[in-house]
Amino acid sequence: MQVAVNYANDYSDGRRGTDADRVGPMRLVGSGAAAPREVLVAALLSFAVAGVAGLVLAALSSWWLVAVGAVCIAAAWTYTGGPLPYGYRALGEVFVFVFFGLVAVVGTTFVQTRTLEGLAFAVSVPIGLLIVAILVVNNLRDLAGDAEVGKRTLAVLLGDRATRLLFAGLFVVAFAVIAAVGVTRPWALLGLLAAPLAVAPVRTVLSGGRGPALIGALQGAGLVTLATGVLLGAGLALS
């Protein structure tokens, strides 16, 4: 699904001309490296593979997952595709939190335990917020270009300074929630060991970094998310 939404975004943004003066990593359609149709086919094939895997999970756990998967595919496509893409209306962060936090963590727990556990909802919050931080710094990097072509991301709506503060705040809240979970599950505090990794990207963003510097902050945010997921998962297993 992640691969599919990246191809879908590449296709839709490229067709709209959003990536014409992109600062970040190269996009296929925007750079002319691939034809729009080729990227669309790649997106559809990725959705198909995800759908098959989802059907297997549904057969082994609950057929309600088919409905969840259908909603996920719809959300992935309409992020930047369709007549009313919500990513162009400052709603990208909300949907990323829901699908990469709540749906991903609670859904993963459900297919293994067949239950909707309160703990799963709790730990989905820091994971969702950290992935939102990845999107926030990505949109901060593209703020000027997005504003120019009418792509109203949350960064465009909030402005440069507020977006930088939001980025830092997401890390603070994410690790605060992990600390709160640690009150009843002490081993979950292992997740806090990832916090020092957030210092570099937060410093870069708060110090006014732009362009290539924000690509480094984007990579740093991804590393924090990976480390937190591994450490928090290990802590919950030990609990």
Note the pLDDT tens digit of each residue in 78-135.
999 999 999 999 999 999 999 999 999 999 999 999 999 999 999 999 999 999 999 9
Query: Residue 237: is its pLDDT beyond 90?
Result: yes
98 and 193 inside one domain:
yes
Give the pLDDT of residue 22: 65
Give the pLDDT of residue 20: 63
Domain C-terminal end among 60, 81, 102: 81
The total number of residues shown for the chain amounts to: 239
Overall number of domains in the chain: 2
Q: What is the mean pLDDT of residues 53-77?
A: 95
Give the pLDDT of residue 149: 83
Comparing C-alpha atoms, which of 121, 173, 166 is closest to residue 140? 166
109 and 211 inside one domain:
yes
> pLDDT averaged over the chain?
94
One-letter amino acid at 63 equals W
Percent of the chain with pLDDT over 70: 97
Give the pLDDT of residue 129: 98
30 and 148 inside one domain:
no
155 and 174 inside one domain:
yes
Name the residue range of residue 165's domain.
Answer: 85-239
24 and 128 inside one domain:
no
58 contacts: CB under 8 Å, gap ≥ 6: 64, 65, 66, 69
209 and 100 inside one domain:
yes
Give the pLDDT of residue 150: 85
Give the pLDDT of residue 199: 98
36 and 127 inside one domain:
no
Percent of the chain with pLDDT over 90: 87
3-class DSSP assignment, residue 89: strand
Query: Residue 21: is its pLDDT beyond 90?
Result: no
As a whole number of angstroms, the longest Cα–Cα distance in the chain is 53
66 and 96 inside one domain:
no
Comparing C-alpha atoms, which of 136, 71, 66, 60 is closest to residue 98? 71
22 and 89 inside one domain:
no
Domain C-terminal end among 47, 65, 81: 81
197 and 139 inside one domain:
yes
21 and 129 inside one domain:
no
Domain C-terminal end among 55, 81, 107: 81
68 and 93 inside one domain:
no
